[in-house]
Amino acid sequence: MFLSSDDVKSIAKKIIAGSNADACVVKIDGGEDYSLRFARGGATTNIATSETTVRVSSHIGGRVGSVTTASIDETALAAARARSEEIARMLPVDPDYVAPLGPQEYDASARYDDNAASLKLDTLAAQAGRVIEEGARRNVDTFGCASSTRRFEALATSNGLFAYERRSEIDLSATARNKSDTWSGWAGAHEFFGARLDAETIAARACAKAAYNVDPVDLEPGDYAVILEPVAVAELAFWVMMAMDARAADEGRSFFARPGGGALIGEKLFDEKFTIRVDPADPLAPEGGVGWEGVPHRARAFIDRGAASTLYRSRSWARKTDAEPVPAARNFIVEGGETSLDDLIRSVKRGVLVTRIWYENMVEPKSLLLTGLTRDGNFLIENGRVTAPVRNMRFNQRLGELFANIAALGKTERVWRAVGGGAAAAPPMLAEKFHFSSKSSGI
Amino acid sequence: MAPKFAPLKDAPERSAASDGGRFALDRALLDALADLALQAARRAGASYADIRLGETLKETAYAKDDRLEQFDERSTRGFGLRVLLDGSWGFYGARRLDAASVAEGVERALENARAVRPIQGRPIALEELPAHEAEWIMPMGVDPFSISTREKADLLLAISAAARDNGADFCTALLCIAREERLFASTFGARIRQTRTRVQPTFTATAIDRAAGRMASRDSLTPARGAGWEYVTGAGLLEEAALAGRQAREKLSARPVVAGDYDLILDPTNLWLTIHETVGHSTELDRVLGWEANFAGTSFVKPAMLGNLRFGSELMTIVADRSQPGALSTIGYDDDGAPASSAEFKIVEKGVFKNFQMALGQAHYIGLPGSNGCAYADSPTSFPIQRMPNISLAPNPDTCKLDDLASGVENGIYVVGAGSWSIDQQRDNFQFGGQLFYEIKNGEIGDMLRDVAYQSRTIPFWNSLDGLGDASTYHLDGTFTCGKAEPVQVAPVSHGAPLARFRNVRVLNTSGGV
């Protein structure tokens, strides 16, 4: 159920008014989700769902108990509040307890489209239809998913904080496979505003990448120059962002830990060209204004021209280490340059163009050694031209080394993420010595 | 028209429920809501409809070192209605349980079926499932939700302390408990009530060498189970945490593996994940049909391979079931209403591929009569999709222990526990890590190694299986969180395995040559 700021405030007020705890925090979120999937040119499954959840956290004597309910019925909310108090009383005291925040100033974030009708299933079906039509025209099979949501998130504390944000999201991703099932292509997009999603372009890109009826080139594992398309760069940068926890660094458990103790803040760890920013006001991939625990997101770089400039830090760890709390971010921008993707390709003597990557997992967190595979559109580049499809390969790549050896960056653009996964913007990137460790027959 | 589903032996009307077994929701309310939905869908012309109503209860407690950082209870009630109208599915789910919401849900589900009709293509066709009226309550000892908050918090803090008192610098401990209560009803005439509970106690002990800038961790080997609190208290978590603390410390100074080809003996605590990724997912019919092509992927296994693909060696028999006690996919009926008895089959028999996993509406694509009981929706508001039953490697009928397997190895590694994992979108090329690695030299298991990951391809790997432990080495592992579908659904599943030996598998050194 999609609730207004006034509706949510009234619910939170009642819960807090009835609280017997030292402090009370109420988090309310919910909304409507739509999604449909298609395969081999026809619809398979679809959903439309509506939900609201209310999480009541009671703070009693330095202990916090939380209960979440999916009901906004007054009796259910009173029961959730009472149970959260009961839980808190039974817990051991938290040695690093911090009281809830009071009022905060949040930066505005433009992530909501009033035209909610543009998100419904018939709209998604029309977009899927464009992919299916293009597949028929190019004689490739098409598969994909179109999803949309409009959601709200609210946070209220007994110390006077109230925050309400809403967002709309739409995404379309399409996989195309040739009729002999020996090659595939992919394209996708994710937007906060429905009108910005260009289904025609997604359909054309996915189908064009798949429309190869030749045997893919079988490259031997080894180090290659690669051009990673923006969606692959964003995916790899996301792993770097996830590793940027101050506590893990301070405790010596992360790539950002300084040998001997402390964190590598301010150290140049990557190439000058590598910057990751978070900004609620960014036009391409705005972060929300309200961060975890109610701490405001501010415009800031996490990686600034190759140096780790910020690590995210919970409020309790910030207090313990006498540092600023910084919320972890889900929406981020990898800064790019001015080179076009075509110009990047023209600059490569021999290398691989990678459309996207799949099933990454961290092998060694200390060295940021990541494994994963290429997927849905690998191409050989020879003497500045894309010459043939290349069979997929597994990579084992240290991200520190990858982002320390950036040869060139293209222009940053908004990339696909699944609805609910945050927004990201990234450039295509040319890097040398990307390590492919084995071949994959997966198409 | 698809042929009728063959009649199968019913699951018991009521399992032998013990303490903690119950169906707590208001039966009359759920029945009335189900009737309202199914009758309205029929009147509107739906050729089929089904509805899942119920509640999921979850409790999550998390401790790090000496601090209980989180204790959450979560309850979500709701319904999900699926209608088939003129060959198109329409689905609507809401986290509410009242007549007005269900009535609106019928209209919305029908509207959604009409919305996708322009892109339907081939109409959805279903086989008919036999109608069951039944109740199935998972047997368990002590209801984990009846245990006090303090006892759970103290357990996690004690686990953390045990690891840190024995060599770990840090320890996180996590306890997840979940209960699903569902009413499933369909226009085939099904009316099935089920309750199941699962528990997941786990931890990670981490040791640091600050001077060298190195770290090592050891995750708990205690698996998630479909069980009550008696499983948690009987799992020996404090002893395991103490051992894990010592092993994490030992890993810091263990010898780095030299990359190369090795014979591997995989402990069931490691092999379960390899089974899950290489066999479990590759034999899902929805993947084979392309329904997951845009996300989870397809499969190297094709319908034409049924009955003739040499998946592995003669020692490889992979069994599907929904009946193993304590297993996470054990249940009386799947989320299409197919009984557990239909999900008792061999996926691979003596190395030969024998059966796909199928949900309602899939079998006719490959000329088979019907579902074999492999549907699951991760909440009442999720669309049911094909998901794994319990999938396990059958043990050797002949006596075979760890020493017997090691005695045939000149140069190998014994791998314990699941670590990092990755596999391609057709389930062929994979790479797995582990928790503990021990050198095997000339038939003897020796020193601990570190930085090991093994990499292979599914068919060559399983065909290199040449040694299998007996039932005494069998262990049931599993996960709460197998992800699939768009939007992602998360399913619990168990995999049992004995010890197993694989020849000439490529091993990487993850700190050096990768």
Strand-pairing partners, residue B139, are: none
Query: pLDDT > 70: what percent of chain A?
Result: 100
Measured between alpha carbons, how far is A308 from A256 in angstroms, rounded to an integer?
A: 8
Residue B2 has pLDDT above 70, yes or no: no
Overall average pLDDT of the A110-139 stretch: 92
- Domain ranges in chain A? 5-210, 217-443
Q: Considering CB atoms only, which of A122, A257, A440 is closest to B429? A: A440
CB contact under 8 A, B511 and A367: yes
* Alpha helical stretches, state H, A311-423: 315-321, 341-346, 399-404
Overall average pLDDT of the B291-296 stretch: 98
Residue A435 has pLDDT above 50, yes or no: yes
Q: Which residues of B touch A39 (CB under 8 A)?
A: 289-291, 293-294
Q: Considering CB atoms only, which of A68, A186, A439 is closest to B72? A: A68
CA angle, A129 then A133 then A137, to 5°:
170
Q: Considering CB atoms only, which of B73, B422, B487 is closest to A359? A: B422
> Tokens 């290398």 sit at which residue?
A351
Q: Which residues of B touch A364 (CB under 8 A)?
A: 451, 510-511
Q: How many CB pairs under 8 A join A and B?
A: 267
Answer whether B455 touches A (CB < 8 Å): yes
Q: Which residues of A touch B89 (CB under 8 A)?
A: 43-46
pTM above 0.85, yes or no: yes
Overall average pLDDT of the B195-206 stretch: 98
Answer whether B121 touches A (CB < 8 Å): yes
Overall average pLDDT of the B337-355 stretch: 98
Q: Residue A390: CB partners within 8 Å, gap ≥ 6?
A: A216, A217, A219, A352, A378, A379, A380
Reduce the secondary structure of B276-326 to three states and give it as a string: HHHHHCCCEHHHHCCCCCCCCCCCCCCHHHCCCCECCCCCCCEEEECCCCC
Residue B3 has pLDDT above 60, yes or no: no
SS3 for B421? Answer: strand
Overall average pLDDT of the B350-379 stretch: 98
Phi-psi group of A197: left, alpha or beta (phi > 0 → left; psi -120 to 50 → alpha; rest → beta) = beta
Measured between alpha carbons, how far is B339 from B11 in angstroms, rounded to an integer?
A: 6
Query: What is B28-69 written as a DSSP string?
Result: HHHHHHHHHHHHHHHHTT-SEEEEEEEEEEEEEEEEETTEEE
pLDDT the model gives residue A118: 72
Residues 478-507, chain B: which have Cβ within 8 Å of A? 485-488, 506
CA distance A337 to chain B (A): 30
> How does residue B15 score in pLDDT terms, banded at 50, 70 and 90?
very low
Overall average pLDDT of the A358-377 stretch: 97
CB contact under 8 A, B510 and A418: no
Detail the DSSP E strand segments found in B350-443: 352-353, 375-376, 385-386, 390-393, 411-416, 421-423, 429-432, 436-441
How much helix, strand and coil, in percent to the nearest 5, is found in chain A? Answer: 25, 40, 35
Measured between alpha carbons, how far is A254 from A251 in angstroms, rounded to an integer?
A: 8
CB contact under 8 A, A441 and B429: yes
pLDDT the model gives residue B21: 53
CA dihedral B148, B149, B150, B155 (to 10 degrees): 100
Phi-psi group of B243: left, alpha or beta (phi > 0 → left; psi -120 to 50 → alpha; rest → beta) = alpha
Domain A5-210 belongs in CATH node 3.40.50.2300: no
> How does residue A70 score in pLDDT terms, banded at 50, 70 and 90?
very high
Name which of B294, B378, B432 to mutate to probe chain A: the one with the most chain A Cβ atoms within 10 A of its Cβ.
B294
> What angle separates helix A5-17 from helix A74-90, to the nearest 10 degrees?
50
pLDDT the model gives residue B244: 98
Overall average pLDDT of the A146-155 stretch: 97
Residue of A nearest to B216 (CA): A253
- Domains annotated on chain B, with CATH: 27-253 (3.30.2290.10), 255-509 (no CATH)
Overall average pLDDT of the B315-322 stretch: 98
Pull the structure tokens for residue B301.
């296994």
Q: Which residues of A touch B81 (CB under 8 A)?
A: none
pLDDT the model gives residue B512: 72
> How does residue B212 score in pLDDT terms, banded at 50, 70 and 90?
confident
Q: Which residues of A touch B488 (CB under 8 A)?
A: 418
Q: Considering CB atoms only, which of B71, B73, B91 is closest to A48? A: B91
Q: Which residues of B touch A259 (CB under 8 A)?
A: 210-213
> How does residue A82 score in pLDDT terms, banded at 50, 70 and 90?
very high
> How does residue A114 score in pLDDT terms, banded at 50, 70 and 90?
confident
Residue B490 has pLDDT above 60, yes or no: yes
Measured between alpha carbons, how far is A249 from A1 in angstroms, rounded to an integer?
A: 40
Measured between alpha carbons, how far is B343 from B357 in angstroms, rounded to an integer?
A: 8
CB contact under 8 A, B381 and A366: no
Phi, psi at A264, each rounded to 5°? -85, 45
Residue of A nearest to B381 (CA): A49
Q: Considering CB atoms only, which of A84, A94, A392 is closest to B68? A: A94
Pull the structure tokens for residue A101.
């925040």
pLDDT the model gives residue B9: 31
pLDDT (tens digit per residue) in B491-501: 999 999 999 99
Residue of A nearest to B90 (CA): A46
CA distance B470 to chain A (A): 32
Q: Which residues of B touch A173 (CB under 8 A)?
A: 294
CA distance B378 to chain A (A): 13
B/e letters for A43-68, b = 16+ CB within 10 Å, e = fewer, are bbbbbbbbbbbbbbbbbbebbbbbbb
SS3 for B228? Answer: coil
Residues 314-333, chain B: which have Cβ within 8 Å of A? none
Name which of B70, B77, B116 to mutate to probe chain A: the one with the most chain A Cβ atoms within 10 A of its Cβ.
B116
Residue B173 has pLDDT above 60, yes or no: yes
CB contact under 8 A, A145 and B486: yes
Measured between alpha carbons, how far is B57 from B74 in angstroms, rounded to an integer?
A: 6
Overall average pLDDT of the B332-359 stretch: 98
Answer whether B299 touches A (CB < 8 Å): no
CA distance B448 to chain A (A): 18
Query: pLDDT > 90: what percent of chain B?
Result: 94
Residue of A nearest to B508 (CA): A437
Residue B1 has pLDDT above 70, yes or no: no
pLDDT the model gives residue B5: 27
Name which of A1, A25, A46 to mutate to probe chain B: the one with the most chain B Cβ atoms within 10 A of its Cβ.
A46
CA distance A383 to chain B (A): 28
A103 prior amide bond cis, ω within 30: no
Residue B133 has pLDDT above 60, yes or no: yes
Overall average pLDDT of the B152-179 stretch: 98
Q: Which residues of B touch A126 (CB under 8 A)?
A: 118
CB contact under 8 A, A141 and B290: yes
Mean pLDDT of chain A: 97
Answer whether B289 touches A (CB < 8 Å): yes
CB contact under 8 A, B78 and A70: yes
Q: Which residues of A touch B213 (CB under 8 A)?
A: 252, 257, 259-260, 366
CB contact under 8 A, A132 and B121: yes
Q: Are strands B260-266 and A429-439 parallel, antiparallel or unpaired?
A: unpaired
Mean pLDDT of chain B: 95
CB contact under 8 A, B208 and A441: no
Answer whether B75 touches A (CB < 8 Å): yes
Residue of B nearest to A367 (CA): B511
Query: pLDDT > 70: what percent of chain B?
Result: 96
Residue B220 has pLDDT above 50, yes or no: yes
Residues 357-416, chain B: which have Cβ within 8 Å of A? 381-383, 385
pLDDT (tens digit per residue) in A274-312: 999 999 999 999 999 999 999 999 999 999 999 999 999
Measured between alpha carbons, how far is A396 from B456 in angstroms, rounded to an integer?
A: 14
Q: Are strands B260-266 and A332-334 parallel, antiparallel or unpaired?
A: unpaired
Residue B12 has pLDDT above 80, yes or no: no
CB contact under 8 A, A363 and B70: no
CB contact under 8 A, A366 and B215: yes
CB contact under 8 A, B210 and A259: yes
B/e letters for A216-230, b = 16+ CB within 10 Å, e = fewer, are beeeeeeebbbbbbb
Q: Residue A353: CB partners within 8 Å, gap ≥ 6?
A: A226, A227, A229, A345, A377, A378, A379, A380, A381, A386
Q: Considering CB atoms only, which of B213, B506, B508 is closest to A257? A: B213
CA distance B352 to chain A (A): 21
> How does residue A404 score in pLDDT terms, banded at 50, 70 and 90?
very high
Name which of B95, B146, B282 to mutate to probe chain A: the one with the most chain A Cβ atoms within 10 A of its Cβ.
B95
